[in-house]
Amino acid sequence: MSTSPQAAPDGERIQKALARAGWGSRREIERLIASGRIQVNGELAIAGCKVKPGDRVQIDGGRTVRIEGTKEPLRVLLYNKPAGVVCTRSDEQRRPTIFDKLPRVHAGRWINIGRLDINTSGLLLFTNHGELAHRLMHPRYRIDREYAARIYGEVDAAVLARLRGGVDIDGEIFQFDDIVIGEGEGSNQWYYCVVQSGRNREVRRLWESQDVQVSRLMRVRFGNIMLPTDLRGGRQVELGGDLLKELCNLVGLAAEAPTAPVRSRRD
């Protein structure tokens, strides 16, 4: 029988090892441990236990997580999501998913940083670093999410003032942190709008609360990362260099970013 890592003097704390492998933030791993959902070498894991290469870690009794002896470099992908693709790892209706064509990672898995609904296209980020994903999605870091929205209907100064000031939707206050009028004219106009909370269908719900129709919606920026104009739908680019450092710095993880520049495209 393998030696339980609870008694092992060496190794890495399980929260850190699993977050690095892309299974969630350290706090999320701690909650899984407290709920009895993680086993190490056939025993329930305890907070603060250490794991090392060769240990068998299972989450919810499912697939075994491989514990690597060397640290996997932090990686971030920018993906241009087409409309009609769903943000899930598998789909019962066999619709295409955002994970279908991603490159493989040596260890762990890709984590999508937030979601876009099936009809929304544009910028979506993935990382293999659980803590980075957790911080970028957490409301307290107030990361900008900018969308280009084509609106059908009458939008006057009063509508824009309400959207900036806050709208009560089902007991919650929603608002745009910024709105800029884009191209178009009459009742079919583009607007660039920014939110920071990342709540489900937030942009659509805000516009629809004003009795107008969102005929097209595309995310064009997340934090400091802009959607490249030459990146076709369904393709991705790996980030590196200053862009990756700046992204990590937004949430206090600047030291985690690799120094070597990376920017490669894949189908």
Average the pLDDT over 14-30 and give the result.
Answer: 80
pLDDT for position 55: 87
Confidence of residue 90 (pLDDT cuts 50, 70, 90): confident
Tokens for 212, please give them.
């107008």
Residues 153 and 130 in one domain: no
Average the pLDDT over 200-211 and give the result.
Answer: 95
* Higher per-residue confidence, 71 vs 38: 38
Residues 258 and 135 in one domain: yes
* Residue 98 maps to a domain: yes
What is the dihedral angle through the alpha carbons of 62, 68, 73, 79, rounded to the nearest 10 degrees? Answer: -20
pLDDT for position 116: 96
Residues 20 and 130 in one domain: no
Residues 232 and 112 in one domain: yes
Closest CA to 55 of 32, 34, 35, 39: 39
Q: Which domain holds residue 52?
A: 12-65
Order of strands across the sheet that contains 38-40: 43-44, 38-40, 57-59, 64-65
* Higher per-residue confidence, 265 vs 173: 173
Length of the chain: 267
pTM of the model: 0.79
Confidence of residue 71 (pLDDT cuts 50, 70, 90): low
Residues 240 and 120 in one domain: yes
CATH number at residue 187: 3.30.2350.10
**Alpha-carbon span 2 to 112, nearest angstrom:** 34
Residues 135 and 149 in one domain: no
Residues 161 and 228 in one domain: no
Average the pLDDT over 15-21 and give the result.
Answer: 79
Average the pLDDT over 230-243 and give the result.
Answer: 94
Average the pLDDT over 24-50 and give the result.
Answer: 88
Confidence of residue 96 (pLDDT cuts 50, 70, 90): very high
Q: What is the mean pLDDT of the chain?
A: 87
Average the pLDDT over 77-102 and give the result.
Answer: 93
Confidence of residue 69 (pLDDT cuts 50, 70, 90): low
Q: Which amino acids are annotated catalytic?
A: 117
Confidence of residue 228 (pLDDT cuts 50, 70, 90): very high
* Residue 204 maps to a domain: yes
The 3-state secondary structure of the chain reads CCCCCCCCCCCEEHHHHHHHCCCCCHHHHHHHHHCCCEEECCEECCCCCEECCCCCEEECCCCEECCCCCCCCCCEEEEEECCCCECCCCCCCCCCECCCCCCCCCCCCCEEECCCCCCCEEEEEEECCHHHHHHHHCHHHCCCEEEEEEEECCCCHHHHHHHHHCEEECCEEECCCEEEEEEEECCEEEEEEEECCCCCCHHHHHHHCCCCEEEEEEEEEECCEECCCCCCCCCEEECCHHHHHHHHHHCCCHHHCCCCCCCCEEC
Confidence of residue 5 (pLDDT cuts 50, 70, 90): very low
Residues 194 and 97 in one domain: no
Q: How many structural domains does the chain have?
A: 3
**Alpha-carbon span 51 to 58, nearest angstrom:** 12
**Alpha-carbon span 23 to 7, nearest angstrom:** 23
Report percent pLDDT > 70 for the chain.
Answer: 88
Confidence of residue 165 (pLDDT cuts 50, 70, 90): very high
**Alpha-carbon span 24 to 40, nearest angstrom:** 17
Position 262 pLDDT exceeds 70: no
pLDDT for position 60: 86
Residues 53 and 170 in one domain: no
